[in-house]
Amino acid sequence: MPRDKSLSHEKVNQAIKEEFLEKGYEDASIRSIGARAGMTSAGLYRHYEDKESMFNAMVEPLIESIKDWTGRHTSKKYDLMDGGAQNDELFGETFIDMIREVILPRRDEFILLMSRSGGTKYENFLHDYVEDNQKQFLEAIRYLKENGYPVRELSEEELHMLLSAYLTACFEPIIHDYDDKKIEKYLNTVQEFFMPGWLRIMGAN
């Protein structure tokens, strides 16, 4: 009877995730992953070519989902601006919604990305993500100003500092692996603290 290759691959992925969560990328070993999966190192190489490709397979679907959500979110905001929406309407959907919809269902993969990725190309993910959002935010501010919205001028340095603080605060309860109830409570606290400032910057109050 032929082996169920999909089941075998699922077992390998579970072993990979457990190993990286426990040890981080740099201290994880192919041999240990194989032992968790109940196969030899040679067996693992039939699924992935090396340790790097194993880690990438864990985090890249999440990264793509984050990029997709951010792209859709940005398009919605520009559609609202083009339609003459009131400034406060532009904040109906926030970054917190992305955390709830995209990150929390894949919290293990997010923890890998944020705190177990040393030695990989993703070890500076937060810094890179802040810079990407900074560019988009500055472009949005410019666009709003050109279309008559009473936005406040910010330097790139100021915006970088604010976005770093905001995103770090949003991510902290997930990185610390709090339960759902605590995460929801802390995300609401972060939103209540930061949102008035973002609204003021965008000229909504």
Question: What is the Cα–Cα distance from 87 to 33, expressed in whole angstroms?
Answer: 51
Token pair in block for residue 165 = 């603080």
Question: What is the Cα–Cα distance from 70 to 99, expressed in whole angstroms?
Answer: 11
Per residue of the chain (205 residues), give pLDDT as tens. 334 466 689 999 999 999 999 999 999 999 999 999 999 989 899 999 999 999 999 999 999 999 999 888 888 878 877 777 665 566 667 889 999 999 999 999 999 999 999 999 999 999 999 999 899 888 888 888 888 878 888 889 999 999 999 999 999 999 999 999 999 999 999 999 998 888 888 776 6
Query: Residue 192 class from Cβ within 10 Å (0-12 exposed, 13-18 middle, 19+ buried)?
Result: exposed
8 A C-beta contact, residue 168 and residue 121? no
Instruction: Tell me which residue of 109, 15, 25 sits closest to 62, measured CA to CA.
Output: 109
Instruction: Tell me which residue of 110, 102, 105, 108 sits closest to 71, measured CA to CA.
Output: 102
Confidence (pTM): 0.88
SS3 153: coil
The sign of the CA dihedral 161, 107, 122, 73 is negative
Query: Residue 142 class from Cβ within 10 Å (0-12 exposed, 13-18 middle, 19+ buried)?
Result: exposed
